[in-house]
């Protein structure tokens, strides 16, 4: 009873969406868990997609340096 069940709704084919932001897992974790930005889509291989919004743009500017360095070594 104390558990929350989240229903995720993601776009399966984000190729038709023009304004999207693509990133790897470490930046995804920051955006989702620290900034509260929902994922638009995930390709199953390590690429995550977000809708380009003002909140996303502001959050990208505030990504900590350590996460940016870690993201450089991720394969996406």
Closest CA to 42 of 12, 21, 75: 12
pLDDT of 22 reads: 93
Q: What is the pLDDT of residue 3?
A: 54
pLDDT of residue 59: 97
State the total domains in the chain. 1
Q: Residue 11: inside a domain, yes or no?
A: no
pLDDT at 55: 96
What are the mean pLDDT values of the chain's consecutive 10-residue runs (76 residues total)?
53 76 95 93 87 95 95 84
- Asked, for residue 8, whether it belongs to a domain, the answer is no
Domain extent at residue 60? 19-72
The confidence score (pLDDT) of residue 2 equals 47
26 lies in some domain: yes
Q: Residue 1 domain-assigned?
A: no
């Amino acid at each position: 009873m104390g558990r929350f069940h989240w229903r995720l709704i993601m776009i399966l084919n984000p190729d038709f969406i023009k304004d999207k932001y693509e990133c790897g897992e470490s930046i995804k974790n920051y955006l989702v868990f620290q900034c509260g930005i929902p994922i638009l889509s995930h390709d199953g291989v390590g690429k995550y997609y977000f809708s380009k919004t003002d909140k996303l743009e502001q959050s990208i500017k505030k990504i900590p340096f350590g996460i940016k360095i870690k993201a450089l070594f991720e394969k996406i």
